Amino acid sequence: MARLASPDTETAAKTPATRRRGELSNLQFALVVTVPVLVFLVLVIAYPLGYALNLSFHDIRFFGGYSATWVGLENYADVLSDERFWNGFLLTVRFTVETVLLTLGIGMALALVVRDLPPRWRWLRALIILPWAVSPYGAGIFFAYLGRGQTGVGTALANALGFDTSINFITQDLVVEFLALGAAWNMAPLVAFFLLANMLTTPPRLYDLAKLDRMSRFETFLYVTLPPLRFTLFVFTCIITVLSIKTFDYIFTATQGGPGSASSVLTYVLYRTSFQNLDLGYGAAMSFYLLALILISTGIIFFTWGRREARR
């Protein structure tokens, strides 16, 4: 009975939808909404990417007239033995790891502070988003002045405490850490906002339960506050990893890759190669290593962490 009935009801349900004149079928509707986007994506992503791939197999010369000579994988091989590349690669990894940890840490701390604000001070929650509103370009200039010995906070603090020394953060040893702190300052408010939104969904009674179970502050954080935040933390780890690896404008305005090449991260090396030395083919090959770095690192994060979170 049920078998006989079901095809009947199905056609009955479909008939008015498909037969109504002037209405699009599901396929037609899908094409109408997706084709413009697909065309747009091909124009702005696939074409430039393909062009860059093509460039990377050529040796491009501008001097003595434009010439493009097919060199196969030679550019890719050369990159691997390029000391500047490996220096930039290690700096990028260092900058990225530090930025991710600092951003998540500061974001979490900010979220915890603004969550527990008394009602009269809740408006401060809106204010903490402000650093995020600063463009990376502006943040670069800002942190360049903050870090320098002549104008920076280090010197100002030392003077305020009565020491007659100048403290410079933009040095060979410290510049990457200082830049990572600046990047974290820029991005942490957004992380804090999302974490705060998540925290507010935890039933307040769970904290009472923790009190009855005599949990310490750390245990309460570990067992009550943290678990619902894990997925957000995972997502932001991915986002910040990608953003840090591809950071360019911030470092360009803050240090120009210096002092020396102490902050010449991969994107900066790429910029020098492609747009200052005009070695476009070689630069394109290097950019594909950057792309690989992004894909591999996010892949690792996903397979070691994301899949576990998704399963919960």
Q: Could you tell me which of 282, 278, 268, 230 has the C-alpha nearest to residue 64? A: 278
| CA-to-CA separations, 249 to 94, 112, 141, 233, in angstroms, rounded | 18, 31, 10, 25
Letters for 160-199 (x = contact with other proteins by CB under 8 A, - = none) are: ----------------------------------------
Comparing CB distances to other proteins, the nearer of 95 and 234 is 234
The least CB distance from residue 271 to other proteins, in Å, is 45
Comparing CB distances to other proteins, the nearer of 61 and 230 is 230
Using rule CB under 8 A, residue 2 touches other proteins: no
Using rule CB under 8 A, residue 118 touches other proteins: no
Residues binding other proteins: number (CB under 8 A): 15
Comparing CB distances to other proteins, the nearer of 19 and 214 is 214
The least CB distance from residue 302 to other proteins, in Å, is 21
The least CB distance from residue 209 to other proteins, in Å, is 6
Using rule CB under 8 A, residue 312 touches other proteins: yes
Comparing CB distances to other proteins, the nearer of 224 and 280 is 224
The least CB distance from residue 107 to other proteins, in Å, is 21
Residues in 271-300 at the binding interface with other proteins, rule: CB under 8 A: none
Comparing CB distances to other proteins, the nearer of 225 and 241 is 225
Letters for 202-241 (x = contact with other proteins by CB under 8 A, - = none) are: -x-xx-xx-xxxxx-------xx--xx-------------
The least CB distance from residue 116 to other proteins, in Å, is 17
Comparing CB distances to other proteins, the nearer of 224 and 238 is 224
Which residues of this chain interact with other proteins, rule CB under 8 A? 203, 205-206, 208-209, 211-215, 223-224, 227-228, 312
